[in-house]
Amino acid sequence: MEVLLKLHQAAILMYGGADGVLDEGTLHYLTERALLHHDPVHVAASLLHGIATMHPFYDGNKRTALMAADAALGLHGKMLTASNDKAASFVLLVAQGKKTEEHVRKWIGRNSGIYRGY
């Protein structure tokens, strides 16, 4: 949970917006849910989808969601390779409820160099 808080603070510092946690219970739930997965794509997808759709922060949820997914991949030597515009467009669709977590897993698999059938 502390890592997500730090990523959120970084997103707010870099791009602006209101700092702070809107719902600490949701943030705790999202952290615990992500830790249930062992595959880096699943962890990244869980974080991206959860943060973008459940909005645990006052502001910067989509930016934090992307940063969290990228950080989860980074722990395994990978990173998101989609352009900033494509990543922003995709996470907006996620936040609007137009993409499921399965869609997010497939997108991350294709846009991280981890293919494994995604």
User: What is the span of the domain harbouring residue 29?
Assistant: 2-110
Q: At residue 115, does pLDDT exceed 80? A: no
Q: At residue 54, does pLDDT exceed 80? A: yes
| Model confidence band, residue 114 (pLDDT cutoffs 50, 70, 90) | confident
Q: Tell me how many domains the chain contains.
A: 1
- pTM (2 d.p.): 0.94
- Return the bridge partners of 21, or none: 57
CATH number for the domain that contains residue 68: 1.20.120.1870
80 belongs to a structural domain: yes
- Secondary structure class of 12 (helix, strand, coil): helix
pLDDT digits (tens, 9 = 90+) for 5-37: 999 999 999 999 999 999 999 999 999 999 999
pLDDT digits (tens, 9 = 90+) for 69-100: 999 999 999 999 999 999 999 999 999 999 99
Residues 75 and 40: beta-carbon distance below 8 Å: yes
Amino acid identity at 25: G
96 belongs to a structural domain: yes
116 belongs to a structural domain: no
